[in-house]
Chains A and B, each alone.
Chain A
Amino acid sequence: AQKVTQAQTEISVVEKEDVTLDCVYETRDTTYYLFWYKQPPSGELVFLIRRNSFDEQNEISGRYSWNFQKSTSSFNFTITASQVVDSAVYFCALSPWGGGGSYIPTFGRGTSLIVHP
């Protein structure tokens, strides 16, 4: 069975602070995907990043960076110099690699990030 734990239910920061959202996962699969999504108040999920289990390179995209550590089963997400527009609920998700382009995700409970001006 797969499990994703986002221990931080809510994080509150002041604009320009750096913030890290934690994600720890459990799976017996040797090949899998990890994801981060953003859910703004409007409701639709916005894809942020996908990482394959065999690719442990960290990634940076603008103010966003991700740290994947297979040894600790963690896939943490850092926002540098946070902005009010970053306020949203962030979900970490895990899926086995099913092939054929399909996947079955298991989501964490989400972390609500509030960025105060």
Chain B
Amino acid sequence: KAGVTQTPRYLIKTRGQQVTLSCSPISGHRSVSWYQQTPGQGLQFLFEYFSETQRNKGNFPGRFSGRQFSNSRSEMNVSTLELGDSALYLCASSLVETRDYNEQFFGPGTRLTVL
């Protein structure tokens, strides 16, 4: 079974631009979560999507948004990029077959550099 894939793997943007990152979950997984990892703030939860709805959200400004499609693929968008948005963005998917915790499987990440 293929793992979680993220595209692109590397991205360079300039301040003020916007960017869209894509995540394809493991086949059959219905939940997709996004995380930001920076040297300054560490690893932080952005949001989680389940059945095309945002189910949980971390403490990030509205410039960060996402969506999930009917095939469970997810995109996250960052508008009006700032230098501080330079980070590794990780996506994780889970099966969600029980009401208890469902293990998350992570993708390799997208490394975003904002100049």
Partners in one complex: yes
Question: Which residues of A are at the interface with B, using a C-beta cutoff of 8 A?
Answer: 33, 42-47, 50, 91, 97-110
CB distance B106 to A102 under 8 Å?
no
CB distance B102 to A101 under 8 Å?
yes
Q: How far is the CA of A102 from the CA of B96 in the complex (A)?
A: 8
Q: How far is the CA of A95 from the CA of B51 in the complex (A)?
A: 21
Q: How far is the CA of A101 from the CA of B108 in the complex (A)?
A: 23
For residue B44, CB closer than 8 A to chain A, the reply is yes
Among all A-B residue pairs, the 7 with the closest Cβ atoms:
A107-B43, A45-B106, A44-B106, A101-B96, A43-B109, A101-B102, A44-B108
Question: Which residues of B are at the interface with A, using a C-beta cutoff of 8 A?
Answer: 4, 31, 42-45, 48, 50, 55-56, 58, 88, 90, 92, 94, 96-109, 111
Chain B's nearest CB lies how many Å from the CB of A4?
10
CB distance A101 to B99 under 8 Å?
yes
CB distance A102 to B55 under 8 Å?
yes
Q: How far is the CA of A100 from the CA of B50 in the complex (A)?
A: 11
Additional pairs, 16, CB under 8 Å, beyond known A101-B96, A101-B102 = A33-B101, A43-B88, A44-B4, A44-B90, A44-B108, A47-B106, A100-B99, A101-B94, A101-B97, A101-B98, A101-B99, A101-B100, A102-B48, A102-B50, A107-B42, A110-B43
